[in-house]
Amino acid sequence: MTKYFTLFIIAILSFQAQFSFAQSAEKVPFEGIDQTWQNGADRRDSSMFNKMKYFTPSIFMDVSYTHSFNNPNDNTVVGSTALARNNEVQLQALHFGGDLNYGNARARIMTQFGMRSIVVPRNDYSPYRGQYQLANVYRYLSESYAGYHFNKWYGINVDAGMFMSYIGLNSYYQPENWEYQASFTSDNTPWFFNGVRVQIFPTKNLKIEPWIINGWQSYGQFNNMPGFGGNITYQSSNSNFKILTNDYYGADAAMIPQRKRFHSDNSVLMRYFNRPASNGITKMAFSLTGDIGDEKGGGVNGFNNSDPVNNPAQYFASAMFYNRIWFHKNKFAWTFGGGVMTNPGRYLVLYPTGQASPLPNPNNPTQTEGAFPFSANPGDQFKGWDASTNFDYMPNQSITFRIEFVHREASVGYFAGAGGVTSQTGYTTTPLDPNWKPDLVKSESRIILAMLFRL
């Protein structure tokens, strides 16, 4: 017995020695590739916390003011996950937390406070299934997962918990985005997932990431199957090109398990000019994103509209394009762009807030609660487009001052008009006049002033 025990100890020590060597020779994915110019990515080239051994803190702050030229009497912003109230300085988001590493164990925790903890999530029926208030349980967390890193190829990470979605290109954290008010493509696709992901880096330039998740931006599971999906990202060694695809399949219509959803999100980013030392234009880049998907079964028929009365088409198609130009050693930047979307069935449209509550009706998942519900029935049409331009001043890599103009249009009444969406006075305490209804209009123009901080 002593002999076998001794051999066992020797084998463990030998394995640990080999493992320690592998750690010391570890390869780092995307090492040496400049990602600071990319839409939806960290624009910093370093952090003051990088030398900390076990914990790397992160702090994000987003303070903004917006004015809608529709002048709604209740100051409510409709159809946005970036904004919630007009004509007021608001703390839209405060996130703090960071990354923990010990050996090959890893974890990330990011808290969430401010308006974002109210406006996100939305269109999520899963908290109605079973007990416990899932939305409240997770409300003050934006990311929280733990996992393990394997020293194979350029690394393999296995993580479980709540993590950010890449669908729609834009980052959930505003300091990483080129524009403030996201185009329809990003604002109507998931910001987070609950589940398990595996990040595989077979080469320095390539990431392959499978997912098994509860559902489409849902804390719980809608029916009796999880959602499946994944991401593939390739970055060129010269730092000028990035291409990625995100794909998803699941059953996300509450109480309609036979209805299945497919979604494909695809982006190309290219930096086509780069002179970092110039006092004039320092770099120029663009991002192009296209999404396509559908729901099929349970009374809807994907892209097939041959029977619009009994089995109508129900799909999502969208695109967005942005171009950004940096000036004076990257201290200033100008961005312009926009996008289009069509979504018959409205299954990804952000429900209007106010008397048409942002929460689904527990008795009818295709309607919102409230006195004036916003329908998302088979055959309901929705088309929209948006355009924006902004100017950034970035005195250092931790802070951005942004002014942005954005115009959005929809094929149906959707944005808050002068009469607001709360009551005739704009206050929730006012008894509703029998003749009053939410003032939803087809277009809006707004100006946004933002201060975006990251450390």
Boundaries of domain holding 353: 19-454
| Terminal-residue alpha carbon distance, the chain | 56
What whole-number distance in Å separates Cα of residue 429 and Cα of residue 411?
31
Query: What is the predicted pLDDT for the residue at 31?
Result: 87
Query: What is the predicted pLDDT for the residue at 282?
Result: 95
Asked if residue 267 is part of any domain, the answer here is: yes
What whole-number distance in Å separates Cα of residue 37 and Cα of residue 49?
21
The Cα angle at residue 450 between residues 115 and 87, in degrees rounded to 5:
65
Query: What is the predicted pLDDT for the residue at 44?
Result: 85
Query: What is the predicted pLDDT for the residue at 366?
Result: 53
Buried b (16+ CB within 10 A) or exposed e, 5-42: eeeeeeeeeeeeeeeeeeeeeeeebbeebbeebbbbbb
Asked if residue 301 is part of any domain, the answer here is: yes
Asked if residue 55 is part of any domain, the answer here is: yes
Nearest to 410 by CA among 348, 361, 341: 341
As for how many domains the chain has, the answer is: 1
CA distances from 360 to 101, 184, 219, 357 (A): 40, 20, 15, 8
Asked if residue 7 is part of any domain, the answer here is: no
Using an 8 Å Cβ cutoff, are 219 and 127 in contact?
yes
Asked if residue 100 is part of any domain, the answer here is: yes
For 283-319, give the DSSP string.
EEEEEEEEEEEEEESSS-BTT--SBTTTB---EEEEE
What is this structure's pTM? 0.87
Query: What is the predicted pLDDT for the residue at 370?
Result: 61
Secondary structure letter of residue 128 according to DSSP: G
Secondary structure letter of residue 424 according to DSSP: S
Asked if residue 200 is part of any domain, the answer here is: yes
Query: What is the predicted pLDDT for the residue at 358?
Result: 54
Using an 8 Å Cβ cutoff, are 405 and 389 in contact?
yes
CATH number of the domain within which 158 lies: 2.40.160.10
Query: What is the predicted pLDDT for the residue at 368?
Result: 59
Q: What is the mean pLDDT of each run of 10 residues along the chain (455 residues)?
A: 42 43 64 91 81 87 97 93 94 93 93 88 72 83 94 93 92 94 93 93 95 90 89 95 96 89 96 90 96 94 90 95 94 96 93 63 57 82 97 95 98 94 89 89 97 95
What whole-number distance in Å separates Cα of residue 415 and Cα of residue 82?
14
Using alpha carbons only, how large is the chain's radius of gyration in Å? 24
Asked if residue 11 is part of any domain, the answer here is: no
Asked if residue 1 is part of any domain, the answer here is: no
